[in-house]
Amino acid sequence: MLAEGVYISNQTSESFPDGMPLKKLALFSSAVVSRQLLVAGLAVLVAFLPVQSAAAQTVDTDPLNRDPLVREAFQYFYVMDYKGALTRFTKVQAEHPSDPIATDYILYVTIFQELFRLDQLDTTFYANDGFLTGKHTVVEDPKVRDQVKALADKAFNQADDELKKNPNDVNALFARGWARSLEAVYLAMVERSFGSALKLAFGAKSDHERVLQLDPDYVDARMVVGIYEYVVGALPFAFKLLIGFAGIHGSKSAGLALLQESATHGVITSVESRTVMALFLRREGKYQQALAINQSLVAEYPHDFLFCLERANITKDAGEGMKAIELYRQLISDAQQPGYFVSFHLELAYFGLGDSLRGQHMYPESVEAFREGAFQPTTSPELKRRCLLAAGEVYDLMNQHDKARQQYQAVLDAGSNTSQGDLARKYMDSPYRAR
């Protein structure tokens, strides 16, 4: 359900690079230039979970979304118990072997479980354009990659089979769009294959837009269209002018209105829509509004590690450093209580804590937090380098360059040909200075 971008017909025969016809190159180039917003939105959205809305309004949806076992499976998913969710969704799929949305459920859990394993669900990683422009090393599991591809293809083909019988089957259209968007998330975040991911995301948006044309009360589909409207509306004026000649338009206010509707009444997009809104507000610097939305998620799912982590992240970005420090420390304490969180990556909390302590000039404590983050058993290679680099920078701020050099050397030892490695080499001889 994480699709956004520029409309491209499902029937188009043009290909994306490599081998792109020149007549499409200009349009694609504009999409690539604007992908800082497109992919950042796509990537960060996956840090959160969908939820059946408690709203009283009756809306249309695939009947399977209201099945008791499906709802139970999502409840396990909400607390990041991926094994528990997968066990129940697998049973649902066995009972509905030809239903594409049942296959989507399995695909969804498979991707999120892998993204969490890879430390790819930290929103601070996607809050700036370094995700797009830097060098990133992700150790992809070939078995998971093949499983994701097989599940996405299966769901797509199952939906197509239904659409051959009835081209206006809204449930099949929605399921096909979901499969496309989930595969796009994997391609963007794990393989960094942005062109392929955007093509899938565009197709997902098209599917969900068609759902709304056929059934305006299919509220879940409004989220995808809302993201599209907002992202295109948020592009710089020059890009909007360029793509406007191709009939591509968007509106931030219209996008937020659609997201609000799916947040309030969505059956499986309520939490996701609220998360998108919080993300957009956070990027715009409207931290208190973003925090209010996030607080509603924490209140519903206090044992979801990522929602609690995001509360601390937004508080930090809002400039409430001491409060953020308190929230990160509470998060770390809660995670150390047996059973409080089913799944957690303490390194994400330690990195945020280190950053907050650094902002408060509590440098020794900051170094300690960054070092803790670097050497957690679940820390990814990328985050380890980020932690070590940050520790080195803080040592330089304390005018302890010899200790800083040790951290920079550790960064180089952990991955020289990386964005962090480039900075570590620079700071080895020229000490870091705060900007």
Concatenating the DSSP letter of every residue in 160-178 gives: HHHHHH-TT-HHHHHHHHH
Q: Over the stretch 102-122, which tens digit does the pLDDT of each residue have?
A: 999 999 999 999 999 888 887
Which residue do the tokens 């499969």 mark? 179
Of 13-27, 144-158, 221-235, the one with minimum mean pLDDT is 13-27
Task: Look at residue 164 and tell me if it is in a domain.
Answer: yes
Q: What is the mean pLDDT of residues 124-150?
A: 74
Give start and end residues of each alpha helix (H) in 235-304: 237-244, 252-265, 270-283, 287-300
What is the model's pLDDT at position 25? Answer: 31
Class of residue 237 by CB neighbours under 10 A (exposed 0-12, middle 13-18, buried 19+)? exposed
What does the angle CA 382 – CA 388 – CA 390 come to, to the nearest 5 degrees?
100
Amino acid (one-letter) located at 217: D
What is the model's pLDDT at position 41? Answer: 46
Under 8 Å between Cβ of 216 and 35 = no
- Number of other CB atoms surrounding residue 101 within 10 Å: 27
Task: Look at residue 342 and tell me if it is in a domain.
Answer: no
Whether pLDDT at 394 is above 50 = yes
**Residue 129 structural domain:** 1-284
Determine the Cα–Cα distance for residues 106 and 223; give it in Å rounded to an integer: 21
Average pLDDT, the chain: 83
Q: How confident is the model at residue 295 (pLDDT cuts 50, 70, 90)?
A: very high
pTM over 0.75: yes
- The phi-psi region of residue 59 (left if phi > 0; otherwise alpha if psi is between -120 and 50; otherwise beta) is beta
Task: Look at residue 170 and tell me if it is in a domain.
Answer: yes
Which residue do the tokens 């937090």 mark? 369
Task: Look at residue 61 and tell me if it is in a domain.
Answer: yes
Domain total for the chain? 1
Task: Look at residue 326 and tell me if it is in a domain.
Answer: no
What is the model's pLDDT at position 36? Answer: 41
Task: Look at residue 267 and tell me if it is in a domain.
Answer: yes
Whether pLDDT at 385 is above 80 = yes
- The phi-psi region of residue 228 (left if phi > 0; otherwise alpha if psi is between -120 and 50; otherwise beta) is alpha
Task: Look at residue 70 and tell me if it is in a domain.
Answer: yes
